[in-house]
Structure formats: C-alpha cells, structure tokens
Amino acid sequence: LVVSGASVSGLALGPLVPLLLDAYGWRGALLLLAAISFNLVAAGALLRPLPVPGESLGPPKDRPGLVRLLRHGPFLRYALAFVLVDAGYYVPFVHGE
C-alpha cells in the first residue's frame, strides 16, 4: 500500500505534464507541479526519530535538531534508500508517454 501511492502518482504525472504544458506553459506547469509537491512537506515533517523511553520529551539541549537528525543512523539509512530509489524509479513512469 505504501509504495503503490508512488506508482499511481507516477503513472498519473506522465499524461498530466503534457496537459499542463499545453494549458499553462512551462512556467505555469512547473508552478503547479511544485504546489502539488509542496504537500509532501507535511509528510516529510513526520519523518523524525521517535523519543527513546527515559529521555526527556523536550528539545535536545546538546545539539540542534538538524544535527541530531543527521547523526541518527536509521534516518540516514532511510534517506539513503530513498535517494537510491528516486535515482531511477520514476523515469519509466514520467517519461514513458
């Protein structure tokens, strides 16, 4: 279920991009695609480490949040996996038409 959303949106973007280009030009099409992609910010905000039992729930006092996140091993592996998947995953769907 999780991965099927990416496939469905990839298949939908193939025919949608030429329609947007014809209707709004390249600038308008890119603005609309950026607006659609901006909705992923809410989902990306949820990708943070869960608190470890016994730790305080407040913000960390020793390091800023981004530095702490970039040193979190599971998050780094997750981010690296998505970089590798995104390198070639969407190419057939978007450029197939």
Confidence of residue 23 (pLDDT cuts 50, 70, 90): very high
pLDDT tens, position by position, 51-86: 777 766 666 566 667 787 888 888 888 888 888 877
The pTM (predicted TM-score) of the whole model is 0.49
Q: What pLDDT shows up at residue 25?
A: 93
Q: How far apart are CA 76 and CA 70, in angstroms?
A: 7
32 with 20: CB under 8 angstroms? yes
89 with 9: CB under 8 angstroms? no
